[in-house]
Amino acid sequence: MASRTPISRGRRSAVPEGLNETWAKDLTDQFRRTLSTKRMNALTRQTTQQHTQAPNAPPSYSSLRNIPLVATAPSDRNSLRFRSMLLSLSNTPCRWENPGLLDEALRSIPLERIYDQAQEESDLYLAEAASLGTNTKAAWGYQDCVVRALMKWFKHHFFQWINNPKCGACHAPTIAVGMAAPLPDEQARGANRVEIYQCSNAQCQAHERFPRYSDAFVLLQTRRGRVGEWANCFSMLCRAVGSRVRWVWNSEDHVWTEVYSEHRKRWVHVDAVEEVWDQPLLYTHGWKKKLAYCIAFSADGCQDVTRRYVRNFGKYGLPRTKAQESAVLHIIAEIKNMRRRDMNKTDKFRLEGEDIREDKEFRQNVIESLSREICRMLPGRPDADMLKAQERAREAQLARARNQQNAQYFNPRDQQQQ
Protein backbone atom coordinates (compact mmCIF):
# COMPACT_ATOMS: atom_id res chain seq x y z
CA MET A 1 0.00 0.00 0.00
CA ALA A 2 1.30 3.41 -0.95
CA SER A 3 1.53 4.86 2.56
CA ARG A 4 3.82 2.01 3.68
CA THR A 5 6.60 2.84 1.22
CA PRO A 6 9.56 4.69 2.78
CA ILE A 7 8.67 8.33 3.45
CA SER A 8 11.52 9.69 1.35
CA ARG A 9 10.31 7.98 -1.82
CA GLY A 10 6.88 9.58 -1.69
CA ARG A 11 8.11 12.97 -0.63
CA ARG A 12 10.76 13.46 -3.30
CA SER A 13 8.25 13.97 -6.09
CA ALA A 14 6.29 17.23 -5.94
CA VAL A 15 5.91 20.46 -4.01
CA PRO A 16 3.18 19.84 -1.42
CA GLU A 17 -0.03 21.76 -1.86
CA GLY A 18 -0.08 25.29 -0.54
CA LEU A 19 3.69 25.77 -0.64
CA ASN A 20 5.49 28.10 -3.02
CA GLU A 21 8.40 27.19 -5.29
CA THR A 22 11.11 28.34 -2.92
CA TRP A 23 10.03 25.54 -0.60
CA ALA A 24 12.74 23.15 -1.74
CA LYS A 25 15.43 25.81 -1.55
CA ASP A 26 14.30 26.89 1.93
CA LEU A 27 14.40 23.32 3.09
CA THR A 28 17.87 22.75 1.65
CA ASP A 29 19.16 25.90 3.35
CA GLN A 30 17.61 24.86 6.65
CA PHE A 31 19.11 21.39 6.26
CA ARG A 32 22.59 22.83 5.61
CA ARG A 33 22.34 25.13 8.61
CA THR A 34 21.18 22.31 10.91
CA LEU A 35 23.92 20.00 9.70
CA SER A 36 26.55 22.68 10.07
CA THR A 37 25.40 23.54 13.62
CA LYS A 38 25.33 19.85 14.49
CA ARG A 39 28.86 19.33 13.20
CA MET A 40 30.19 22.43 14.96
CA ASN A 41 28.62 21.22 18.21
CA ALA A 42 30.08 17.77 17.70
CA LEU A 43 33.52 19.25 17.06
CA THR A 44 33.31 21.42 20.16
CA ARG A 45 32.27 18.42 22.22
CA GLN A 46 35.06 16.34 20.74
CA THR A 47 37.69 18.96 21.58
CA THR A 48 36.43 19.28 25.16
CA GLN A 49 36.35 15.51 25.54
CA GLN A 50 39.87 15.10 24.23
CA HIS A 51 41.08 17.36 27.03
CA THR A 52 39.16 15.57 29.73
CA GLN A 53 39.61 11.94 28.61
CA ALA A 54 42.54 9.79 29.60
CA PRO A 55 45.06 9.68 26.74
CA ASN A 56 44.34 6.05 25.82
CA ALA A 57 40.56 6.09 26.30
CA PRO A 58 38.65 4.98 23.19
CA PRO A 59 36.88 7.85 21.40
CA SER A 60 33.12 8.01 21.80
CA TYR A 61 30.97 6.68 19.00
CA SER A 62 29.34 10.06 18.35
CA SER A 63 32.71 11.68 17.64
CA LEU A 64 33.38 9.04 14.99
CA ARG A 65 30.06 9.22 13.28
CA ASN A 66 31.16 11.29 10.32
CA ILE A 67 34.56 9.75 9.76
CA PRO A 68 34.86 6.84 7.32
CA LEU A 69 36.43 3.96 9.19
CA VAL A 70 38.78 1.25 8.03
CA ALA A 71 38.42 -2.15 9.68
CA THR A 72 41.47 -2.85 11.81
CA ALA A 73 42.28 -6.04 13.69
CA PRO A 74 41.63 -5.56 17.42
CA SER A 75 44.84 -5.08 19.36
CA ASP A 76 44.01 -3.35 22.66
CA ARG A 77 42.74 -5.35 25.62
CA ASN A 78 39.16 -4.00 25.48
CA SER A 79 38.72 -4.77 21.80
CA LEU A 80 40.19 -8.27 22.20
CA ARG A 81 37.83 -8.99 25.07
CA PHE A 82 34.87 -7.73 23.03
CA ARG A 83 35.96 -9.96 20.14
CA SER A 84 35.94 -13.12 22.29
CA MET A 85 32.52 -12.20 23.63
CA LEU A 86 31.01 -11.63 20.17
CA LEU A 87 32.59 -14.82 18.81
CA SER A 88 31.03 -16.78 21.64
CA LEU A 89 27.60 -15.10 21.23
CA SER A 90 27.70 -15.72 17.49
CA ASN A 91 27.39 -19.48 18.11
CA THR A 92 23.83 -19.18 19.43
CA PRO A 93 21.98 -19.30 16.06
CA CYS A 94 24.35 -21.98 14.74
CA ARG A 95 23.15 -24.35 17.48
CA TRP A 96 19.68 -24.33 15.90
CA GLU A 97 20.96 -25.61 12.53
CA ASN A 98 20.10 -29.22 13.21
CA PRO A 99 17.48 -30.52 10.75
CA GLY A 100 16.53 -33.47 12.97
CA LEU A 101 15.94 -31.32 16.06
CA LEU A 102 14.15 -28.63 14.02
CA ASP A 103 11.76 -31.27 12.67
CA GLU A 104 11.16 -32.46 16.17
CA ALA A 105 10.56 -28.86 17.31
CA LEU A 106 7.82 -28.57 14.67
CA ARG A 107 5.92 -31.27 16.53
CA SER A 108 5.51 -28.90 19.52
CA ILE A 109 3.66 -26.39 17.32
CA PRO A 110 -0.05 -26.58 16.39
CA LEU A 111 1.02 -26.12 12.76
CA GLU A 112 -2.38 -26.42 11.15
CA ARG A 113 -3.89 -23.67 13.28
CA ILE A 114 -0.90 -21.42 12.71
CA TYR A 115 -0.96 -21.96 8.93
CA ASP A 116 -4.72 -21.36 8.82
CA GLN A 117 -4.41 -18.15 10.74
CA ALA A 118 -1.50 -17.00 8.58
CA GLN A 119 -3.54 -17.71 5.47
CA GLU A 120 -6.49 -15.68 6.78
CA GLU A 121 -4.27 -12.77 7.68
CA SER A 122 -2.35 -12.76 4.43
CA ASP A 123 -5.67 -12.90 2.52
CA LEU A 124 -6.72 -9.84 4.49
CA TYR A 125 -3.51 -8.02 3.51
CA LEU A 126 -4.12 -8.98 -0.14
CA ALA A 127 -7.71 -7.70 0.00
CA GLU A 128 -6.52 -4.51 1.64
CA ALA A 129 -3.93 -3.99 -1.11
CA ALA A 130 -6.46 -4.75 -3.86
CA SER A 131 -8.83 -2.17 -2.42
CA LEU A 132 -6.09 0.45 -2.72
CA GLY A 133 -5.36 -0.11 -6.42
CA THR A 134 -3.97 -2.62 -8.87
CA ASN A 135 -0.30 -1.66 -8.36
CA THR A 136 -0.37 -1.89 -4.59
CA LYS A 137 1.54 -4.72 -2.98
CA ALA A 138 0.22 -6.45 0.14
CA ALA A 139 1.83 -5.11 3.31
CA TRP A 140 3.08 -8.53 4.41
CA GLY A 141 3.42 -11.92 2.72
CA TYR A 142 2.22 -15.34 3.83
CA GLN A 143 5.49 -16.39 5.51
CA ASP A 144 5.51 -13.10 7.48
CA CYS A 145 2.01 -13.95 8.70
CA VAL A 146 3.21 -17.44 9.72
CA VAL A 147 5.80 -15.86 12.04
CA ARG A 148 3.21 -13.40 13.37
CA ALA A 149 0.81 -16.25 14.19
CA LEU A 150 3.67 -18.24 15.74
CA MET A 151 4.53 -15.28 17.96
CA LYS A 152 0.94 -14.98 19.25
CA TRP A 153 0.73 -18.68 20.01
CA PHE A 154 4.19 -18.71 21.62
CA LYS A 155 3.37 -15.85 23.97
CA HIS A 156 -0.20 -16.76 24.94
CA HIS A 157 -0.19 -20.55 24.83
CA PHE A 158 3.32 -21.92 25.03
CA PHE A 159 6.02 -20.07 26.91
CA GLN A 160 5.81 -18.78 30.45
CA TRP A 161 7.53 -15.74 31.94
CA ILE A 162 9.28 -16.48 35.22
CA ASN A 163 10.54 -13.97 37.76
CA ASN A 164 10.59 -16.11 40.92
CA PRO A 165 9.45 -19.70 40.34
CA LYS A 166 6.60 -20.93 42.60
CA CYS A 167 7.44 -23.41 45.36
CA GLY A 168 7.27 -26.93 43.92
CA ALA A 169 5.92 -28.35 47.19
CA CYS A 170 3.19 -25.88 48.22
CA HIS A 171 2.97 -23.39 45.29
CA ALA A 172 3.66 -20.42 47.58
CA PRO A 173 5.77 -17.50 46.28
CA THR A 174 9.53 -17.79 46.75
CA ILE A 175 12.40 -15.45 47.59
CA ALA A 176 15.75 -15.48 45.77
CA VAL A 177 18.58 -16.70 48.00
CA GLY A 178 21.50 -17.01 45.59
CA MET A 179 23.17 -19.11 42.91
CA ALA A 180 24.34 -22.70 42.86
CA ALA A 181 26.42 -24.92 40.61
CA PRO A 182 24.32 -26.97 38.16
CA LEU A 183 23.68 -30.62 39.03
CA PRO A 184 25.05 -33.18 36.54
CA ASP A 185 21.66 -33.63 34.80
CA GLU A 186 21.10 -29.86 34.63
CA GLN A 187 24.58 -29.45 33.19
CA ALA A 188 23.96 -32.22 30.68
CA ARG A 189 20.92 -30.28 29.44
CA GLY A 190 22.98 -27.12 28.97
CA ALA A 191 22.31 -25.11 32.15
CA ASN A 192 25.40 -23.08 32.98
CA ARG A 193 23.98 -21.46 36.13
CA VAL A 194 21.19 -22.20 38.57
CA GLU A 195 19.25 -19.68 40.65
CA ILE A 196 18.08 -20.83 44.10
CA TYR A 197 14.81 -19.70 45.68
CA GLN A 198 13.31 -20.41 49.08
CA CYS A 199 9.61 -20.85 49.80
CA SER A 200 8.09 -17.93 51.72
CA ASN A 201 5.70 -20.23 53.58
CA ALA A 202 7.13 -20.58 57.14
CA GLN A 203 5.82 -24.17 57.44
CA CYS A 204 7.47 -25.23 54.17
CA GLN A 205 10.67 -23.23 53.47
CA ALA A 206 11.60 -25.68 50.71
CA HIS A 207 14.26 -24.70 48.18
CA GLU A 208 13.42 -24.37 44.52
CA ARG A 209 16.01 -24.56 41.73
CA PHE A 210 15.70 -22.49 38.58
CA PRO A 211 18.31 -23.70 36.05
CA ARG A 212 18.94 -21.18 33.28
CA TYR A 213 18.97 -23.39 30.19
CA SER A 214 20.62 -22.02 27.08
CA ASP A 215 19.70 -24.89 24.75
CA ALA A 216 16.67 -23.89 22.67
CA PHE A 217 15.61 -27.52 22.26
CA VAL A 218 15.66 -28.13 26.04
CA LEU A 219 13.55 -24.97 26.42
CA LEU A 220 10.88 -26.67 24.29
CA GLN A 221 10.33 -28.93 27.30
CA THR A 222 10.83 -26.48 30.20
CA ARG A 223 8.79 -23.77 28.40
CA ARG A 224 9.69 -21.03 30.82
CA GLY A 225 12.24 -18.34 31.47
CA ARG A 226 13.08 -14.69 31.04
CA VAL A 227 13.97 -12.72 27.96
CA GLY A 228 17.05 -14.86 27.16
CA GLU A 229 15.06 -18.10 27.11
CA TRP A 230 12.17 -16.48 25.26
CA ALA A 231 14.31 -15.09 22.45
CA ASN A 232 16.37 -18.27 22.17
CA CYS A 233 13.43 -20.67 21.94
CA PHE A 234 11.22 -18.42 19.80
CA SER A 235 13.99 -17.65 17.28
CA MET A 236 14.70 -21.37 16.94
CA LEU A 237 10.99 -22.02 16.25
CA CYS A 238 11.03 -19.30 13.55
CA ARG A 239 13.88 -21.28 11.99
CA ALA A 240 11.83 -24.47 12.35
CA VAL A 241 8.94 -23.00 10.34
CA GLY A 242 11.42 -22.17 7.59
CA SER A 243 12.26 -18.49 8.11
CA ARG A 244 15.74 -17.06 7.96
CA VAL A 245 16.37 -15.78 11.43
CA ARG A 246 18.72 -13.57 13.42
CA TRP A 247 19.31 -13.48 17.15
CA VAL A 248 19.93 -9.87 18.19
CA TRP A 249 22.11 -9.24 21.23
CA ASN A 250 21.96 -5.84 22.92
CA SER A 251 24.63 -4.57 25.30
CA GLU A 252 21.96 -3.17 27.65
CA ASP A 253 20.77 -6.63 28.64
CA HIS A 254 18.07 -7.40 26.11
CA VAL A 255 17.77 -9.90 23.24
CA TRP A 256 15.23 -10.26 20.49
CA THR A 257 14.66 -11.76 17.05
CA GLU A 258 14.83 -10.59 13.45
CA VAL A 259 13.31 -12.58 10.61
CA TYR A 260 13.99 -12.00 6.95
CA SER A 261 10.86 -11.02 5.04
CA GLU A 262 11.17 -12.35 1.48
CA HIS A 263 8.08 -10.29 0.70
CA ARG A 264 9.58 -6.98 1.84
CA LYS A 265 13.19 -7.99 1.07
CA ARG A 266 14.41 -6.83 4.44
CA TRP A 267 15.01 -7.93 8.02
CA VAL A 268 12.08 -7.40 10.38
CA HIS A 269 12.29 -6.77 14.13
CA VAL A 270 10.31 -9.31 16.22
CA ASP A 271 10.10 -9.27 20.03
CA ALA A 272 8.16 -12.31 21.26
CA VAL A 273 8.13 -11.17 24.90
CA GLU A 274 6.43 -7.92 23.95
CA GLU A 275 4.48 -9.55 21.10
CA VAL A 276 5.78 -6.83 18.84
CA TRP A 277 6.31 -7.05 15.10
CA ASP A 278 8.39 -4.55 13.09
CA GLN A 279 8.63 -1.83 15.72
CA PRO A 280 12.37 -1.24 15.94
CA LEU A 281 11.89 2.04 17.81
CA LEU A 282 10.16 0.27 20.72
CA TYR A 283 13.23 0.39 22.98
CA THR A 284 14.33 3.97 22.33
CA HIS A 285 11.23 6.04 21.49
CA GLY A 286 8.91 3.65 23.38
CA TRP A 287 10.84 2.67 26.51
CA LYS A 288 13.11 5.74 26.46
CA LYS A 289 16.06 3.39 26.79
CA LYS A 290 19.56 4.35 25.65
CA LEU A 291 21.45 1.71 23.67
CA ALA A 292 25.09 1.29 22.68
CA TYR A 293 25.33 -1.94 20.65
CA CYS A 294 22.77 -4.14 18.91
CA ILE A 295 24.54 -6.97 17.09
CA ALA A 296 22.62 -9.48 14.97
CA PHE A 297 23.92 -13.04 14.57
CA SER A 298 22.67 -15.64 12.14
CA ALA A 299 23.86 -18.92 10.72
CA ASP A 300 24.98 -17.06 7.57
CA GLY A 301 26.20 -13.71 8.85
CA CYS A 302 26.71 -11.04 11.46
CA GLN A 303 25.71 -7.39 11.35
CA ASP A 304 25.86 -4.32 13.56
CA VAL A 305 22.18 -3.38 13.44
CA THR A 306 22.33 -0.57 16.03
CA ARG A 307 21.22 1.99 13.42
CA ARG A 308 17.93 0.14 12.99
CA TYR A 309 17.09 0.54 16.70
CA VAL A 310 18.78 3.85 17.50
CA ARG A 311 17.87 6.52 14.94
CA ASN A 312 18.78 9.55 16.97
CA PHE A 313 22.21 8.87 18.47
CA GLY A 314 22.33 12.21 20.24
CA LYS A 315 19.22 11.35 22.21
CA TYR A 316 19.22 7.55 22.51
CA GLY A 317 22.78 6.41 21.81
CA LEU A 318 25.10 5.38 24.63
CA PRO A 319 28.87 5.83 24.22
CA ARG A 320 30.33 2.75 22.52
CA THR A 321 33.32 2.06 24.71
CA LYS A 322 33.62 -1.74 24.51
CA ALA A 323 36.05 -1.62 21.60
CA GLN A 324 37.57 0.69 19.00
CA GLU A 325 35.02 1.25 16.21
CA SER A 326 37.52 0.11 13.59
CA ALA A 327 37.94 -3.12 15.57
CA VAL A 328 34.15 -3.65 15.74
CA LEU A 329 34.04 -3.49 11.93
CA HIS A 330 36.86 -6.03 11.76
CA ILE A 331 35.26 -8.44 14.25
CA ILE A 332 31.91 -8.36 12.44
CA ALA A 333 33.59 -8.98 9.07
CA GLU A 334 35.56 -11.82 10.66
CA ILE A 335 32.42 -13.56 11.99
CA LYS A 336 30.62 -12.99 8.68
CA ASN A 337 33.49 -14.54 6.71
CA MET A 338 33.63 -17.47 9.07
CA ARG A 339 29.92 -18.21 8.55
CA ARG A 340 30.19 -17.90 4.77
CA ARG A 341 33.49 -19.70 4.34
CA ASP A 342 32.03 -22.87 2.88
CA MET A 343 29.30 -21.22 0.81
CA ASN A 344 29.24 -21.25 -2.97
CA LYS A 345 29.85 -18.06 -4.92
CA THR A 346 26.19 -17.51 -5.82
CA ASP A 347 25.04 -17.61 -2.20
CA LYS A 348 27.89 -15.38 -1.07
CA PHE A 349 27.05 -12.88 -3.80
CA ARG A 350 23.37 -12.88 -2.85
CA LEU A 351 24.16 -12.27 0.83
CA GLU A 352 26.59 -9.48 -0.03
CA GLY A 353 23.85 -7.80 -2.05
CA GLU A 354 21.57 -8.12 0.95
CA ASP A 355 24.20 -6.54 3.23
CA ILE A 356 24.57 -3.61 0.83
CA ARG A 357 20.80 -3.08 0.73
CA GLU A 358 20.64 -3.17 4.51
CA ASP A 359 23.42 -0.63 4.83
CA LYS A 360 21.47 1.61 2.48
CA GLU A 361 18.40 1.16 4.69
CA PHE A 362 20.45 2.23 7.73
CA ARG A 363 21.70 5.34 5.95
CA GLN A 364 18.12 6.10 4.93
CA ASN A 365 17.15 5.90 8.62
CA VAL A 366 19.68 8.59 9.48
CA ILE A 367 18.43 10.83 6.66
CA GLU A 368 14.80 10.37 7.73
CA SER A 369 15.68 11.14 11.33
CA LEU A 370 17.44 14.36 10.22
CA SER A 371 14.60 15.44 7.96
CA ARG A 372 12.11 14.89 10.78
CA GLU A 373 14.16 17.25 12.95
CA ILE A 374 14.04 19.83 10.17
CA CYS A 375 10.29 19.42 9.62
CA ARG A 376 9.77 20.10 13.30
CA MET A 377 11.69 23.38 12.94
CA LEU A 378 9.59 24.63 10.02
CA PRO A 379 6.14 25.89 10.96
CA GLY A 380 3.35 24.77 8.64
CA ARG A 381 5.47 22.19 6.83
CA PRO A 382 4.14 18.61 6.46
CA ASP A 383 4.86 16.90 9.76
CA ALA A 384 6.29 13.39 9.46
CA ASP A 385 5.07 12.50 12.97
CA MET A 386 1.53 13.49 12.09
CA LEU A 387 1.63 11.33 8.95
CA LYS A 388 2.99 8.42 11.00
CA ALA A 389 0.25 8.87 13.61
CA GLN A 390 -2.37 8.72 10.87
CA GLU A 391 -0.79 5.53 9.55
CA ARG A 392 -0.71 4.02 13.04
CA ALA A 393 -4.40 4.79 13.53
CA ARG A 394 -5.20 3.05 10.25
CA GLU A 395 -3.08 0.03 11.24
CA ALA A 396 -4.80 -0.15 14.64
CA GLN A 397 -8.13 -0.30 12.87
CA LEU A 398 -6.90 -3.20 10.72
CA ALA A 399 -5.40 -4.91 13.77
CA ARG A 400 -8.78 -4.81 15.51
CA ALA A 401 -10.33 -6.55 12.51
CA ARG A 402 -7.59 -9.18 12.61
CA ASN A 403 -7.90 -9.71 16.38
CA GLN A 404 -11.54 -10.55 15.95
CA GLN A 405 -10.46 -13.27 13.55
CA ASN A 406 -7.69 -14.49 15.85
CA ALA A 407 -10.18 -14.93 18.65
CA GLN A 408 -11.72 -17.78 16.66
CA TYR A 409 -8.38 -19.56 16.55
CA PHE A 410 -6.79 -18.87 19.88
CA ASN A 411 -9.36 -18.84 22.62
CA PRO A 412 -8.59 -19.83 26.22
CA ARG A 413 -10.40 -23.17 25.86
CA ASP A 414 -7.79 -24.37 23.37
CA GLN A 415 -5.06 -24.00 25.94
CA GLN A 416 -6.40 -26.80 28.09
CA GLN A 417 -6.38 -29.19 25.16
CA GLN A 418 -2.62 -28.95 24.72
**Contact region with Zn ion (CB under 5 A), list: 110-118, 119-127, 185-193, 206-214:** 206-214
Name the segment binding Zn ion (CB under 5 A); options: 123-131, 199-207, 313-321, 362-370. Answer: 199-207
Note whether 201 binds Zn ion by CB under 5 A.
Answer: yes
Among 126, 176, 206, 276, binds Zn ion (CB under 5 A): 206
Does position 170 interact with Zn ion (CB under 5 A)? The reply is yes
> Is 204 a binder of Zn ion (CB under 5 A)?
yes
Stretch that binds Zn ion, among 5-13, 36-44, 202-210, 406-414 (CB under 5 A): 202-210
CA distances from 269 to 131, 231, 246, 313 (A): 27, 12, 9, 19
- One-letter amino acid of 332: I
Q: Is residue 172 part of the contact set for Zn ion (CB under 5 A)?
A: yes
Give me the least distance between CB of 229 and Zn ion, in Å please: 23
Is 167 a binding residue for Zn ion by CB under 5 A? The answer is: yes
CB under 5 A: which stretch of 50-58, 194-202, 245-253, 270-278 binds Zn ion? 194-202
Secondary structure of the chain: what % helix, strand, coil (to 5)? 55, 15, 30
CA distance 219 to 235: 12
Q: Which residues of 273-286 are buried (b: 16+ CB within 10 A; e: fewer)?
A: bbeebbebbbbbbe
- Torsion sign over Cα 64, 298, 310, 212: negative
Question: Is residue 325 within 8 Å of residue 72, measured between CB atoms?
Answer: no
* Per-residue x/- track, 248-287, Zn ion (CB under 5 A): ----------------------------------------
Gap between the Cα atoms of 394 and 132, Å rounded: 13
- Report CA Rg, the chain: 24
C-alpha distance across the termini of the chain, in Å: 38
* Least distance from Zn ion to the Cβ atom of residue 165, Å: 11
Q: Report if residue 94 touches Zn ion, rule: CB under 5 A.
A: no
Beta pairing, strands 160-161 & 224-225: parallel
> In whole angstroms, how close is the CB of 175 to Zn ion at the nearest point?
11
Q: How many whole angstroms separate alpha carbon 222 and alpha carbon 211?
A: 10
Tell me the site size for Zn ion, rule CB under 5 A. 8
111 near Zn ion, judged by CB under 5 A: no
Q: Which residues bind Zn ion (CB under 5 A)?
A: 167, 169-170, 172, 199, 201, 204, 206
